[in-house]
Structure 1
Amino acid sequence: MTVEYLPSNQKRGKFMRYDTAVILKRYFLCERALVTGQAGWLSGVPYFDIKMSLPKMLWEDAMTAHELRNRVYELRFPSRMLEIGDDQALVDLIHQSHNAPNPLAFILGLSRVFKPALKQAYVDYLEMADLLGDGPTHRFLELAIKEKDVQIQTLEKLVSPYLEKNDPPSIEVALQWVKQLQDKLNQIGGIGIENCKGGEVNLSDKVFSPYEVPNRDKRFIPVRFYWPDIVDKSFPYGEGVKLQLRSAISHLNEIWAVENAGFILHEFAKDLGWDFIYDAARWVYDESRHCTMGYERLKQWGFEENELPLGTYIYDSCKGKDPIYRLGMLFYFESKNIGKKPERIKSFAEFNDQVSQHDMDFDWADETIHTAYGKRWLSAILEKRGLDPKDYQKIQAECDRLVDEVIHSATEEEIQQITSITENMIEKAKHIVAAYERV
């Protein structure tokens, strides 16, 4: 007896549930590797505009990765396995790209190799994936495509002046590195729907680690201490104009927190896993927003980069130390200063400085989240090491000591320098106020 069947030739039946999970798992692994690399390079990238743009990008990438990861678990239920498997060469290549020979090379590797490859992979996937069976993936990958497109355009726009200004040998090294990455990516089959071809990936024998001495933009004034009251207790915190300036400079100098959050994301990614990476990506992004808040207020008031101090003393205090103290340092300063924010918000309202009030208000909300991050992840890493998770307070105490040690190392020359910078800023601010009152 011949059994008859209805025809089934619709292309939407191409990918079954497990096939889809394998592909999305690959994309998750790529995004995760890109997030850790971007975070780790934050202290090594000198260009302020790029240093402030990467945090948003890595946070967006982490959000995409989070959705991919959850979708893979849904499709593989009840399994919670996310093995690298056949994607090992691809993941290795992205990790080896972290060993870029200079900051320019790393940035171009993102904008010209990996972000375009992932964007195209998402486009190709959505053209073949079924909207009915895999509707949830369509939603977040459509957003990811838009985000990747903006990221690529932003990086290319921001890096363009540095390609013109950098010394030719550095540019040549960077461009050659990008070619190596692209060639190797092509050899292993790219980031696509099919499994990569595999093979050895040997671009560098180095093991990347974040910069312990941060690279900073030369347009700003490089200092260790960014305001006199840090090293001179007789210098008043100030009211009125002085408080506005002090707050804006403090926000600008959260650049150390951007770099530090990136450092710990990279260093603890393996030990603490995805949930930590996800929280830390948000932490990095938030700190970059705070830094940019201060920068934009100062620029709006009329200050130029060459009048603004960028300090390193908090970041410096952890140099050569266990990265747990960098995590502790973020927790320490978040919990130490959060109680002062409502008072500042009230003061700015009295000055009718709505922007400073607005920025401090949102800063306060972020830092309540960060305090919880600090407590959670300090406890987690202590427990991972077989120690008492409640001992995070001892880490805080050591952070206090480390910072005091650096502060006490301040020289008279440094104190005079930052006092002069500050007095010049205050004097200029007074002229700005006077000019405004005459209008």
Structure 2
Amino acid sequence: MTKTYLPGTERGKYMRYDTAVILKRFYLCEKELVVSEAGWIPGIPYFEMKTLLPKILWEDAMTGHALRERVFELRFPSRMLEIGEDQQLIDLIQKARCAPNALAFLSTLAEVFKPALLKAYETYLNLADQIGDGPTYRFMNLAVEEKQRQIREIRELVQKELAVTTQEERERAERWTQEIQESLQKLGGIGLDAPAAAGTANTSEQEHHAGATNELAAGTVFAASAKASAADKYPFTPLETPARDGRFLPVRFYWPDNVDPTFPYGEGFQLQLRSAVSHLNEVWAVENAGYVLYAFAGELGWDFIYDAARWVYDESRHCQMGYRRLKSWGFSEQELPLGTYIYDSCQGQDPIYRLGMLFYFESKNIGKKLDRIKNFASMNDRTSQHDMDFDWADETIHTSYGKTWLSAALKKRGQDPDDYTEIKEVCETIVKRTVETATPAEIEEITAIANRMIEKVKASQ
């Protein structure tokens, strides 16, 4: 007697484990792109992209986090995130960090990796089951929208900059993008199946980070190829001298009181002006946070990357706050100083001092922000008050980040995780040492810039 069964449907195409394998691949790609984007922030001169890329990498981190958590749900109770057969794909993303210039790196994002992920996500949404895998649908639909917007935004800036750059730089960017594109095509792109040319090595290593006790106890293992990784083949280091947009005034010290204690911080409109310039110059914190994310990504792991991505994004919002206030008051980029001295002070130092520098300045200045909020309220300057109010809320979060991850880094090095004394002392020393290098010409220059800005405001009243 022939047995008869009811037919299955296309809805059963991907089982739970199959889905976890696909989402794991997407997570690994998002993670590597976040690290790459962070590392390139100091090297990008274009102000719009220097402050937009942090938002993009934060969105990518949010997508990566959702993917990672979903993989853990689907593989419960296992918490395995092996690279395995995806190693060559991850190697390629790491190789792309070594782009010859900022345009080349941004072009690989806009023309290679972002479109590849967008296509992969759209393909997944068309084939996967939105009933069985409903939780993935919400965040992946959002990721599709974000990738579409990111591609538009990056392409617009790249085209704008290509139009005014040298032919040599354009050709270098185009060659690099083509090389990365062809390499990805040879792997079969980023898809639902394993990369075509992937190896079979699948040894493992643990991703260590603070607060990982429960995951490690549950068996979390992060696998990597036994052979040398792309990070070894193609070493990349964020710039220690940050690139700057030529439209702004390139200075080390962005206001006279950085180097001249007799120059008043100011009251009234001068306080408004000084605060906005200070916010604009949190560009150093954007760059430093990007450097820190890149430097500690491997050592401190995903939870750190996730927090640091938000930290980078927040600093970029503060920078834009100052920029937009200054623009609303009639200032052009050619009148605005962009300093580098705090970022410069960490040159040649262990990256732990860059992390300490962010923590040091967050905790040092947070109390002053409440006074500023009251001052701006008394001036009926709702915009400055609004910006400082949200800034204060962000900084309270950052103080927690600083304590958590500085402690984790110290513990990794066998030091007392609760003793920041040496870190703080070094941070104070290297900034002081940098300030002491200010030349009379630099002091005269920034004083003249500040006085011109002050006189412009006076003339407009």
**TM value normalised by structure 1:** 0.97
Alpha-carbon distance in structure 2 between the residues aligned to 1:339 and 1:89:
48
Matching of residue 5 in structure 1 with residue 5 in structure 2: yes
Residue 204 (structure 1) shift: 10
| SS of corresponding position for 1:42 | helix
Matched residue type, 2:343: Y
Matched residue type, 2:318: H
Alpha-carbon distance in structure 2 between the residues aligned to 1:66 and 1:393:
33
Of 272, 292, 309 in structure 2, the residue corresponding to residue 244 of structure 1 is 272
Residue matched to 1:405: 433
| SS of corresponding position for 1:144 | helix
In the TM superposition, what are the counterparts of 1:156-305 in structure 2 within 5 Å? 156-199=155-198, 205-305=233-333
Residue matched to 1:425: 453
Residue 387 (structure 1) shift: 1.1
Matched residue type, 1:6: L
Residue matched to 1:369: 397
CA deviation digits over 1:317-374, x for unaligned, max 9? 1000000000000000000000000100101011111000000000000000000000
Q: How many residues align?
A: 432
Alpha-carbon distance in structure 1 between the residues aligned to 2:275 and 2:141:
39
Q: 1:224 to 1:26 in 2, by over 3 A?
A: same
Checking the alignment, whether the CA contact within 8 Å between 1:231 and 1:407 is kept in structure 2 is yes
Matched residue type, 2:93: I
Residue matched to 1:437: none
Residue 409 (structure 1) shift: 1.1
Residue 390 (structure 1) shift: 1.2
Residue matched to 2:140: 141
CA RMSD of aligned residues (A): 1.3
Alpha-carbon distance in structure 2 between the residues aligned to 1:332 and 1:203:
30
Checking the alignment, whether the CA contact within 8 Å between 1:87 and 1:198 is kept in structure 2 is no
| SS of corresponding position for 2:121 | helix
Checking the alignment, whether the CA contact within 8 Å between 2:94 and 2:234 is kept in structure 1 is no
Checking the alignment, whether the CA contact within 8 Å between 1:96 and 1:204 is kept in structure 2 is no
Residue 81 (structure 1) shift: 1.2
Matched residue type, 1:173: R
Alpha-carbon distance in structure 1 between the residues aligned to 2:197 and 2:356:
40
CA deviation digits over 1:168-194, x for unaligned, max 9? 010011011111111000001110111
Residue matched to 2:217: none
Residue matched to 2:19: 20
**Range with greater deviation from structure 2 (393-402 or 364-373):** 393-402
Checking the alignment, whether the CA contact within 8 Å between 1:87 and 1:195 is kept in structure 2 is yes
Of 299, 319, 325 in structure 1, the residue corresponding to residue 353 of structure 2 is 325
Matched residue type, 1:320: G
Residue matched to 1:88: 87
| SS of corresponding position for 2:42 | coil
| SS of corresponding position for 1:5 | coil
Checking the alignment, whether the CA contact within 8 Å between 1:115 and 1:152 is kept in structure 2 is yes
Checking the alignment, whether the CA contact within 8 Å between 1:36 and 1:269 is kept in structure 2 is yes
Matching of residue 349 in structure 1 with residue 380 in structure 2: no
Checking the alignment, whether the CA contact within 8 Å between 2:94 and 2:230 is kept in structure 1 is no
Query: 4+ residue stretches of structure 1 with deviation over 6 A?
Result: 200-204
Residue 61 (structure 1) shift: 0.2
Residue matched to 1:308: 336
Checking the alignment, whether the CA contact within 8 Å between 2:91 and 2:231 is kept in structure 1 is no
Q: Which runs of 5+ in 2 are unaligned?
A: 200-228
Alpha-carbon distance in structure 2 between the residues aligned to 1:204 and 1:343:
49
Checking the alignment, whether the CA contact within 8 Å between 1:378 and 1:389 is kept in structure 2 is yes
CA deviation digits over 1:33-89, x for unaligned, max 9? 000000000000000011111000000000000000000000001111101000000
| SS of corresponding position for 1:208 | coil
**TM value normalised by structure 2:** 0.92
Alpha-carbon distance in structure 1 between the residues aligned to 2:11 and 2:458:
68
Residue 392 (structure 1) shift: 2.1
Residue 3 (structure 1) shift: 3.0
Residue 386 (structure 1) shift: 1.2
Matching of residue 105 in structure 1 with residue 133 in structure 2: no
Residue 395 (structure 1) shift: 0.6
Matched residue type, 2:239: Y
